[in-house]
Chain A
């Protein structure tokens, strides 16, 4: 069966195509439209998926939307009426927003793709999250927990799943917590309070938390109380997200925690005000972690299962994930590479295949590389046209050359194969650099990424060497496969891994298996032979405010607009014609020709 999954209209829209029970392509719209966090109907992503599989829209057996728009409309309407009269300003806007387009998804999908309305199906938002987390994980039975800001009504759900080899799949939901009581909204409210963009910059709050102390935990606990049934409830007197679109927090929230941060003023951690913001971040992070651990512990006791699959935007919080692994009682924790809404495109398609149509279970490839491929020859053509230094060589020579570049503190833009699906660069669209000094971190921040000083960079290490440099268990290496956990850097190596060690001595490490990205694994080994430490700094290949690059031409454009020293796509290595290194290498080639 050919099933297309779509997520759209909230943030980060995406499409995924499942053929014969196995995903063949999945891509986020932003990577093709080049608008970060593009929430539009993902026509480009759908076209890319169909082209990849050489399928026409009329060959699709079903098109699945990742949530039920009418149920969501029911929630928006009910909440607006409950909050009346405070909601009277937001009400017309919310209605126009929903009724102008969002609720008519069946018609919109039919009108764009030309498929009959009967082929358009819907899953619930948290069912999509659960399916994305469970059906892509290498486990047969697992507890499932999903948490995000809000889907239709649910904000958090717990349940379990079972896959019988070549048999039927079941995903059960035991309970759910409903809007407006939401861990995601609690965290997003602090994101707004701390002057960051809601639904986008939550990871900055996590990064900032490491600079603070959880001194305001008692105040944060006033915002969220545990209920006797083991769930939680927000004290809505402190929030406004359920009544207005203008502001997430109320005046009482400000009375409790002090004035919010002006988004246009940088955070100066040397001032008491800057430290207060860091303490706020640390406190909400602690409360989030504590709540998740307690919920997961109860789920573990209830199911008795060793594995937990985590989905939803909250599963992007690597610090919380690592605590869940350490303290919840589960032996293994699986987080998919795209646990957020984009991942629901895959989740809804798989849910439809396994549960709606009852197709037999299939083992799925355990990697995040479902997007379009980068073409090295395209890069070579573009760079030659502009007169840059281009070198095309076979794998081993190229890897030796790049390892030399990295050992010489050059910054490398690295593209190979299919694009990652999800927010992390996991070795196919990465900027790589040496991880040893703070100078390198500052250079990357200053010259390429243009981002806040307090945000850390992530490392990538081979699975064979991971435990030497990081305090990480075997189960932790699984969590770190898609950069989903934060683990301590071993104290004895911190001075030699300064660029990737966060202020609290941790790192959001990617642990790489050879089979997942063989060339990057080989590069790590070659780099290790030169420097003694097979660890590299790995950050996403994009500039501030732009999505991760997709095709070679976008990597090339980013290379030209930044101070990346070397660009690699497939077997092609490019240096800027103005760089001293390019001149040296050209001279060397001339000399070799003359000798020959």
Chain B
């Protein structure tokens, strides 16, 4: 049986994994054949934006503040 975890706990696990995934994307862009290194700052900025989206989805009380950024 799969144990049901609360939204906050799941959100924290996802949040914890994002740094590794972002680093993986950055590594991929750095080593890409088609020379996409210039994309790295934008990609990392977007990933950080993604982190905020995860925080907004996980801690509902913060969501209005985070969404107000946009």
Determine the distance from Cα of A558 to Cα of B32 in the docked complex, in whole angstroms.
52
Nearest chain A residue, comparing its CB with the CB of B38: A81
Nearest chain B residue, comparing its CB with the CB of A114: B3
Which residue of A57, A103, A106, A110 is within 8 Å of B2 (Cβ)? Answer: A57
Interface centre among A47, A69, A111, by most B CB within 10 Å?
A111
Task: Tell me whether A104 and B39 are in contact (CB under 8 A).
Answer: no
Task: Tell me whether B13 and A111 are in contact (CB under 8 A).
Answer: yes
Task: Tell me whether B36 and A74 are in contact (CB under 8 A).
Answer: yes
Task: Tell me whether A77 and B5 are in contact (CB under 8 A).
Answer: no
Task: Tell me whether A47 and B1 are in contact (CB under 8 A).
Answer: yes
Task: Tell me whether B2 and A113 are in contact (CB under 8 A).
Answer: yes
User: Is A524 close to B, CB under 8 A?
Assistant: no
Cβ distance B48 to chain A, nearest Cβ, rounded Å: 9
Which residue of A56, A100, A111 is within 8 Å of B50 (Cβ)? Answer: A100
Residues A96 and B20 in contact in the complex (CB < 8 Å), given A77-B42, A111-B9: no
Task: Tell me whether A106 and B1 are in contact (CB under 8 A).
Answer: no
The secondary structure that dominates the A interface is helix
Taking CB atoms, residues of chain A closer than 8 Å to B11 are 111
Task: Tell me whether A95 and B21 are in contact (CB under 8 A).
Answer: no
Interface string of A64-101 (1 = CB under 8 A from B): 00000111011001100100000000000001101110
Which residue of A46, A95, A108 is within 8 Å of B46 (Cβ)? Answer: A95
User: Is B29 close to A, CB under 8 A?
Assistant: yes
Determine the distance from Cα of A51 to Cα of B2 in the docked complex, in whole angstroms.
9
Determine the distance from Cα of A499 to Cα of B11 in the docked complex, in whole angstroms.
53
User: Is B59 close to A, CB under 8 A?
Assistant: no
User: Which bracket fits the contact residues of B?
Assistant: 20 to 34
Which residue of A71, A96, A106 is within 8 Å of B17 (Cβ)? Answer: A106
Task: Tell me whether B21 and A70 are in contact (CB under 8 A).
Answer: yes
User: Is A274 close to B, CB under 8 A?
Assistant: no
Cβ distance A50 to chain B, nearest Cβ, rounded Å: 7
Within 8 A of A (CB), among B35-57: 36, 39, 42-43, 46-47, 49-50, 53-54, 57
Residues A106 and B20 in contact in the complex (CB < 8 Å), given A47-B1, A111-B13, A112-B10: yes
Interface string of A283-306 (1 = CB under 8 A from B): 000000000000000000000000
Task: Tell me whether A70 and B24 are in contact (CB under 8 A).
Answer: yes
Residues A103 and B21 in contact in the complex (CB < 8 Å), given A77-B39, A108-B14: yes
Task: Tell me whether B15 and A107 are in contact (CB under 8 A).
Answer: yes
User: Is B25 close to A, CB under 8 A?
Assistant: yes
Nearest chain A residue, comparing its CB with the CB of B13: A111
Taking CB atoms, residues of chain B closer than 8 Å to A114 are 2-3, 5
Taking CB atoms, residues of chain A closer than 8 Å to B18 are 104, 107
Determine the distance from Cα of A238 to Cα of B15 in the docked complex, in whole angstroms.
41
Determine the distance from Cα of A107 to Cα of B24 in the docked complex, in whole angstroms.
13
Taking CB atoms, residues of chain B closer than 8 Å to A103 are 21, 25, 47, 50
Task: Tell me whether B14 and A78 are in contact (CB under 8 A).
Answer: no
User: Is A117 close to B, CB under 8 A?
Assistant: yes
User: Is A463 close to B, CB under 8 A?
Assistant: no
Determine the distance from Cα of A50 to Cα of B46 in the docked complex, in whole angstroms.
36
Cβ distance A180 to chain B, nearest Cβ, rounded Å: 15
Task: Tell me whether A104 and B43 are in contact (CB under 8 A).
Answer: no
Cβ distance B5 to chain A, nearest Cβ, rounded Å: 6
Which residue of B17, B25, B42, B57 is within 8 Å of A100 (Cβ)? Answer: B57
Nearest chain B residue, comparing its CB with the CB of A47: B2
Determine the distance from Cα of A71 to Cα of B33 in the docked complex, in whole angstroms.
13
Which residue of B1, B9, B32, B53 is within 8 Å of A99 (Cβ)? Answer: B53
Determine the distance from Cα of A78 to Cα of B49 in the docked complex, in whole angstroms.
17
User: Is A503 close to B, CB under 8 A?
Assistant: no
Taking CB atoms, residues of chain A closer than 8 Å to B36 are 74, 78
Cβ distance A258 to chain B, nearest Cβ, rounded Å: 38
Taking CB atoms, residues of chain A closer than 8 Å to B14 are 104, 107-108, 110-111
Interface centre among A77, A103, A107, A117, by most B CB within 10 Å?
A107
Task: Tell me whether A77 and B43 are in contact (CB under 8 A).
Answer: yes
Interface centre among B1, B25, B32, B54, by most A CB within 10 Å?
B25
Task: Tell me whether A104 and B50 are in contact (CB under 8 A).
Answer: yes
Taking CB atoms, residues of chain A closer than 8 Å to B9 are 111
User: Is A517 close to B, CB under 8 A?
Assistant: no
Which residue of A46, A50, A78, A95 is within 8 Å of B39 (Cβ)? Answer: A78
Nearest chain A residue, comparing its CB with the CB of B7: A111
Taking CB atoms, residues of chain B closer than 8 Å to A78 are 36, 39
Within 8 A of B (CB), among A24-77: 43, 46-47, 50-51, 56-57, 69-71, 73-74, 77
Which residue of B16, B20, B46, B54 is within 8 Å of A77 (Cβ)? Answer: B46
Cβ distance B39 to chain A, nearest Cβ, rounded Å: 7
Task: Tell me whether B28 and A70 are in contact (CB under 8 A).
Answer: yes
Task: Tell me whether B2 and A107 are in contact (CB under 8 A).
Answer: no
Task: Tell me whether B49 and A99 are in contact (CB under 8 A).
Answer: yes
Determine the distance from Cα of A56 to Cα of B2 in the docked complex, in whole angstroms.
7
Taking CB atoms, residues of chain B closer than 8 Å to A73 are 25, 43
Task: Tell me whether B47 and A117 are in contact (CB under 8 A).
Answer: no
Task: Tell me whether A99 and B46 are in contact (CB under 8 A).
Answer: yes
Cβ distance A338 to chain B, nearest Cβ, rounded Å: 23
Which residue of A43, A56, A96, A106 is within 8 Å of B21 (Cβ)? Answer: A106
Residues A43 and B2 in contact in the complex (CB < 8 Å), given A77-B39, A78-B39, A107-B13: yes
Cβ distance B26 to chain A, nearest Cβ, rounded Å: 9
Could you show 17 A-B contacts with beta carbons less than 8 Å apart?
A: A43-B2, A70-B21, A70-B25, A70-B28, A73-B43, A74-B29, A74-B36, A78-B36, A81-B39, A81-B42, A99-B46, A104-B17, A104-B54, A107-B14, A111-B9, A111-B14, A114-B3
In addition to A46-B2, A104-B21, 4 A-B residue pairs with Cβ atoms within 8 Å of each other are: A70-B21, A95-B46, A110-B14, A114-B2
Q: Which residues of B are in contact with A by a Cβ distance under 8 Å?
A: 1-3, 5, 9-11, 13-18, 20-21, 24-25, 28-29, 32, 36, 39, 42-43, 46-47, 49-50, 53-54, 57
7 closest Cβ pairs, A-B complex: A107-B17, A99-B50, A107-B14, A111-B13, A111-B10, A70-B25, A100-B53
